[in-house]
A and B are shown apart, each in its own frame.
Chain A
Amino acid sequence: MNGTGRLFRAIAAAATGIALSACAASTEGQLSTVDDVNDPFEPANRVVFAFNEAVDTVVIRPVAVTYDTFVPEGIQQGITNFLRNLRTPIILANELLQGDWEGAEVAASRLFLNTTLGLGGFIDIASYAQKEYQSEDFGQTLARWGVGEGPYLVLPILGPSNPRDAVGFATDVFADPVGYAATDGFNYARAGATVVDLRQQTLEATDELKRSSIDYYATTRSLYRQYRLNQIGDGAGAEAMPDIPDFEDIPEDEGAPVIDDGSAEQGVPGSAIPVASE
Chain B
Amino acid sequence: MKSLATALIGLLLVAAAPVRAADPAQAQSFIEGLGQRAVEILNEPDLDADRAVAQFRTLFRESFDIPTIGRFVLGRYWRTASREQQQEYLELFENMVVETYARRFTEYSGETFRVLGSRGEGEGDTMVQSQIVRPAGPPIQVAWRVRERNGQFRIIDVSIEGVSMAVTQRNEFGAVIQRNGGRIEPLLETLRGRITAARQG
Contact = CB atoms under 8 A, between A and B. Distances in A.
B37 interface: no
Nearest to A275: B76
A43 to B, nearest CB: 11
Interface residues of B, number: 57
B175 A37 contact: yes
A31 B76 CA distance: 17
Contacts of A215: 172, 175-176, 179
Contact of A244 (B72, B143, B149): B72
A278 B187 CA distance: 22
Interface residues of A, number: 57
Nearest to A227: B163
A218 B171 contact: yes
A173 B175 CA distance: 34
Given A201-B137, A276-B72, A237 B159 contact: yes
Given A248-B149, A257-B83, A222 B72 contact: no
A217 B178 CA distance: 13
A146 interface: no
Q: DSSP class of A's interface residues: helix, strand, loop or mixed?
A: loop
Nearest to A276: B72
Contacts of B51: none
Contacts of B128: none
B149 to A, nearest CB: 7
A244 B194 contact: no
B182 interface: yes
A244 B67 CA distance: 12
A250 to B, nearest CB: 10
A108 interface: no
Contact of A226 (B145, B167, B182, B191): B167
Contact of A278 (B76, B147, B164, B173): B76
Contacts of A248: 68, 149
A244 B170 CA distance: 12
A217 B174 CA distance: 12
B91 interface: no
A243 B170 CA distance: 13
Interface string A192-217: 00000000010000001000111101
A264 B78 CA distance: 11
A274 to B, nearest CB: 10
B86 interface: yes
Nearest to A245: B72
A128 interface: no
Interface string A247-270: 110000001011111111101100
Nearest to A230: B162
B171 A263 contact: no
B178 to A, nearest CB: 9
Nearest to A216: B172
A244 B83 CA distance: 21
Interface of B: 67-69, 71-72, 75-83, 85-86, 100, 104, 121-122, 125, 127, 136-138, 141, 143, 145, 147, 149, 156-157, 159, 161-164, 166-168, 170-176, 179, 181-185, 187, 190-191, 194
19 contacts: A35-B75, A213-B172, A214-B173, A214-B191, A214-B194, A223-B163, A230-B161, A240-B167, A241-B121, A241-B159, A244-B122, A244-B145, A246-B149, A257-B81, A258-B79, A267-B79, A267-B80, A275-B75, A277-B75
Interface of A: 22, 31, 34-35, 37, 73, 77, 132-133, 201, 208, 212-215, 217-219, 221-223, 226-227, 229-231, 233, 235, 237-238, 240-248, 255, 257-265, 267-268, 271, 273, 275-278
